[in-house]
Amino acid sequence: MEIKYFNRELDKLETEKVYGDKAVSWLYDSASGRALTNFLIRKPLSQVYGMVQNSSLTERKVIPFIRDFNINMDDYKIEEGRTPEAPFSSFNNFFIRQFKEGARDFSQESNVMPAFCEARYFGHESLNNEVSIPVKGKNWLAKDLVANEKWASVFEDGPCLLARLCPVDYHRFHFPVSGNILDDYRVSGLLHSVNPLALAKVPEVFSVNERHISILDTPEFGKLAYIEVGAICVGKIVQSRELKGSFERGEEKGYFLFGGSTVIVLGEKGRWTPDSVVIENTKKGTEVYQKLGSPIAKAL
């Protein structure tokens, strides 16, 4: 199964080079793989695998990974005290690498929502019974994703952006706009893969996987549900700050330790919409790759 996405910066379709594609296919397609998956999707085992990536023994994986996936390291800081030839002391330290100052800028137009991850996006104007995210045949509703009666009705039929982070991507996530934190909680669950290869087999992933949910209040975009979804072999979802009080546009919110994962942002009905490029590609089942901070939605 080829995964194609629209690279917005280059204005063309590209084919994703999937890290561990054969392993994912085996885990979800074969009887023996599915048996192992039943263990890996449990948090303790998945966390142990993620923590292994902190070992200094994994340092040797970094340079081949950078080369194989053609990652432009000019955009990133290297670990303090390291050299370009040996930039990180473990694979996890590479995985949570940070951008250099000025490598990415957040759009400052007040009616524009910038991309909160450097990722592949789906977007919908209204999340309702007619919408399948991201696999045809499985509908997602706000109440399934926020899993909290207090907030479910707030986001009913509202807009949605879903950002999928691959293992090759920058794995920190940011507040898109300024505002205040109203609520913050975790929903326990499993740790299925969020790779499209796996989603085709287990389409209910986003309502059964572990999630960290923050409810945000913003002047231009109303209330937002900011949802970080755990995934197989993600060692941990880390919050970079105490989730209370106010936050600023572009401020780092947190990061995922080893493993690909997903961030979902839900909004109130009629307050904002993903832009036309994202909507039109989503209708075709094609994700849009966007750089962190680039415009992705607009206030209504």
Residue 156 banded pLDDT, cuts 50, 70, 90: very high
Mean pLDDT of 280-292: 94
Question: Which pLDDT belongs to residue 37?
Answer: 56
pLDDT of 136 reads: 42
Sign of CA dihedral 43, 36, 264, 189: negative
How much is the pLDDT for 16?
A: 87
Does residue 232 or residue 213 have the better pLDDT? 213
- Burial group, residue 271, by CB count within 10 angstroms (0-12, 13-18, 19+): middle
Give residue 142's pLDDT.
Answer: 85
The reported pLDDT for the residue numbered 246 is: 98
Strand partners, 184: 214
Contacts of 145 (CB under 8 A, 6+ apart): 206, 207, 211, 225, 227, 264, 266
**CA distances in angstroms from 176 to 147, 180, 252, listed in the order given:** 22, 12, 9
User: Nearest CA to 261 among 117, 195, 165, 161?
Assistant: 165
pLDDT digits (tens, 9 = 90+) for 87-127: 999 998 999 999 999 999 999 999 999 999 999 999 999 98
26 confidence band (pLDDT: 50, 70, 90): very low
The conformation of residue 86, written as its DSSP 8-state character, comes to B
- 178-192 pLDDT, tens digit per residue, is 999 999 999 876 555
How far apart, in whole angstroms, are the C-alpha atoms of residue 286 and residue 10?
15
pTM of the model: 0.87
Q: Are 159 and 125 in contact (CB under 8 A)?
A: yes
- Assess contact for 133 and 124: CB atoms under 8 A: yes
Q: Which residue has the higher pLDDT, 260 or 211?
A: 211
Q: What is the mean pLDDT of the chain?
A: 84
CA atoms within 13 A on the CB side of 225: 32
**What are the residues whose beta carbons fall under 8 Å from the beta carbon of 233, sequence distance 6 or more?**
40, 46, 49, 50, 191, 258, 259
Supply the pLDDT for residue 216: 98
Taking the domains of the chain in order of start, what are their residue ranges? 16-95, 112-299
Distance CA 286, CA 52 (A): 34
- How far is the CA of 27 from the CAs of 24, 168, 198, 220, in angstroms? 5, 20, 8, 43
